[in-house]
Each structure stands twice: as C-alpha cells, then as structure tokens.
C-alpha cells in the first residue's frame, strides 16, 4: 500500500503526515508513506488545495487535516 501526502511542508501538511503515520503504526498496517513536496508534481496530480492524501492513487481528502477516525475509516478499522 502506498500513502501519499501532498503539501509543500506547511504546518497543516506536517500535522497530516504525523496523524497518518501514527495511525498506520497503531493499526499495524504495512504501508509506504511518501510526502510529495514538489509543486509541479502536486499540481500534475490534480491537487489544488493542500494538505491532500491519496491511498494507492485514490484521493481521500484535500484541503483539510484528517482526523484519526477518518484515517481508520479509510482502512476499514
């Protein structure tokens, strides 16, 4: 599983990465977490507002920090 976090590195993007990393660890999910910071890559993927999160290429959220419960729902937990 590949989880991508899109954002240039603002506080909201860093918080998003922390929430996802902690939740994935708590749930014991085997996933590669990648923080995409390159603006051209972010735009080419259709992200207009950050932070954004995609799991295996499917966009899950844009423009908001996800809660732990949201992240759990993405994994059916």
So which residues are the catalytic ones? 10, 13
Cβ contacts of 68 within 8 Å, gap of 6 or more: 19, 22, 23
Task: Supply the DSSP string of 33-68, one letter for each residue.
Answer: EEEE--HHHHHHTT--SSSEEEETTEEEEESSPPPH
């Amino acid at each position: 599983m590949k989880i991508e976090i899109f954002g240039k590195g603002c506080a909201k993007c860093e918080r998003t990465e922390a929430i996802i990393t902690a939740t994935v660890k708590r749930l014991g999910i085997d996933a590669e977490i990648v923080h995409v910071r390159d603006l051209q890559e972010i735009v080419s993927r259709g992200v207009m507002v950050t932070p954004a999160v995609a799991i295996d290429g499917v966009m899950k959220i844009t423009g908001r920090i996800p809660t732990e419960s949201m992240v759990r729902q993405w994994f059916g937990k």
